[in-house]
Amino acid sequence: MTDRQAPIHFWLPDGVDADLLCWNPDAEPERYQTGIGHAIIELFRRLGDRGLDVTIGSEPPPGAHLVFHLTSVYSWRKCTASPRELAQLYEVLAGGHDVTIIRGDVPLSFRVDLPRAIEVMPNMASIARSDQVWVPLLPQRGLVPRPAERYGALRAVGIMANAENVPAQLLEPAFERALGRCGVAWRPRLRRRTGPNAWDTAPWHDFSDLDAVVCLSCDPRNDSQLRKPATKLINAWVAGAVPLVPPQPSYVELMSPGENVAVAASPEAVLGVVAELASDPEMFRRLEAGAIERGSEFSHDRVLAKWVDLLRREESPSHRRLDSYGLTARAASLRSGIWLDRKSRAARARAKGVLSAYRRA
């Protein structure tokens, strides 16, 4: 496939290293287990493999279509913008680039409104403006699906998640014992924090010994579930496993209860559903067949084709052009508050004021 259109540039404020450029997502699926790794780095690698003209790093080529993840300019620790990265972004965009913003699960209250930008939302229910769209994220890379010899019976249940986002009851020995009394094994795949900004890895790609997947989560920030994408649900479908899901907005808009998912809104409900499915193979096989069929709609090729269509879209004439002078001025204001006087309360207030004014613009 050849591509003679403008390059697509995946923006990372801190640039890239040689390992990233050589990364094979399917051979090393446990690397870059973050939102940016999933939606920026992996998408860059996949599109490059398809022959598209793609670049990645902090400096885009002239005229490139720029793609960035909202996490790149958001501080999870402070729950607000990261002024340094936001200033970098404004300076880059002053060059006149078309933009695609990938929101991920950043709180919906945080916005960076940019002219000529399309924002990819975590689900359809979160779309509130004409410049917002939903495209599913790529399914789990390097996925090892549930083998055909496991079809027809529920013998093991798993969960793929960060440990801190898993309801505590699912991690208690009593939960595993209760599943065992149903003749079902409990096989969690948990990733744990090893430092302030460091995590270990977990085999989220391996569904080979699972028959159903729990998609429950808790949010330590007590934020809206409306910001969550349907990643766990889609991965379970693609793997051929039956999802056990709560009525989370991103799940509800995609699922058909009793056909391709079993609804379980709490750990207690999970136990009840597992007991029912373990004792009723016909019901389990019906859900299994529906999950496998639904998974085919979210295959790697189909989802990647949707991203190509989005990133190669024709811009509407009604889109506003970038105000290069305004973006450069905002970047300069932010930088003055960051570097010229880091400890000045007035400087920090100016930087916050610039950001607030830009949000309202």
Q: What is the mean pLDDT of residues 338-359?
A: 40
Closest to 273 measured CA to CA, from 294, 245, 234, 249: 245
pLDDT given at position 314 = 65
Which contacts (CB < 8 Å, 24+ apart) does range 245-252 have? 245/215, 245/216, 246/215, 246/216, 248/215, 249/123, 249/125, 249/126, 249/225, 250/122, 250/123, 250/125, 250/225, 251/215, 252/125
Strand order in the sheet with 242-245: 185-191, 156-162, 212-214, 242-245, 262-263
Question: Predicted confidence band at 223 (pLDDT cuts at 50, 70, 90)?
Answer: low
Do 64 and 107 sit in the same domain of this protein? Answer: yes
Choose one of 257, 272, 298: the last residue of a domain.
298
Q: Where are the alpha helices (DSSP H) in 173-239?
A: 173-181, 231-239
CA-to-CA separations, 10 to 20, 101, 277, 284, 306, in angstroms, rounded: 13, 10, 44, 42, 17
Choose one of 249, 267, 298: the last residue of a domain.
298
pLDDT given at position 220 = 55
Choose one of 298, 318, 349: the last residue of a domain.
298
Instruction: Tell me whether strands 117-121 and 132-134 are parallel, antiparallel or unpaired.
Output: parallel
The 10s digit of each residue's pLDDT in 248-302 is: 999 999 999 999 999 999 999 999 999 999 999 999 999 999 999 999 999 999 9
Whether residue 199 contacts residue 193, with contact meaning beta carbons closer than 8 Å, is answered with yes
pLDDT given at position 97 = 85
Q: Rounded to two decimals, what is the model's pTM?
A: 0.85
Q: What is the mean pLDDT of residues 49-78?
A: 94
Q: What is the mean pLDDT of residues 214-235?
A: 84
Closest to 56 measured CA to CA, from 23, 95, 96: 23
Query: Residue 16, class by beta-carbon neighbours within 10 Å (0-12 exposed, 13-18 middle, 19+ buried)?
Result: middle
Do 169 and 283 sit in the same domain of this protein? Answer: yes
pLDDT given at position 199 = 77
Which phi and psi (to 5°) does residue 55 adopt?
-135, 165
Q: What is the mean pLDDT of residues 335-344?
A: 37
pLDDT given at position 193 = 84
Q: What is the number of structural domains in the chain?
A: 2
Do 190 and 273 sit in the same domain of this protein? Answer: yes
- CATH number, domain containing residue 278: 3.40.50.2000
pLDDT given at position 7 = 93
Do 130 and 152 sit in the same domain of this protein? Answer: no
Residue 178 lies in a domain: yes
Q: What is the mean pLDDT of residues 24-50?
A: 95
The 10s digit of each residue's pLDDT in 136-167 is: 999 999 999 999 999 999 999 999 999 999 99
Do 217 and 338 sit in the same domain of this protein? Answer: no
Residue 80 lies in a domain: yes
% the chain with pLDDT above 70: 84
Do 128 and 202 sit in the same domain of this protein? Answer: no
Which domain range does residue 267 map to?
148-298
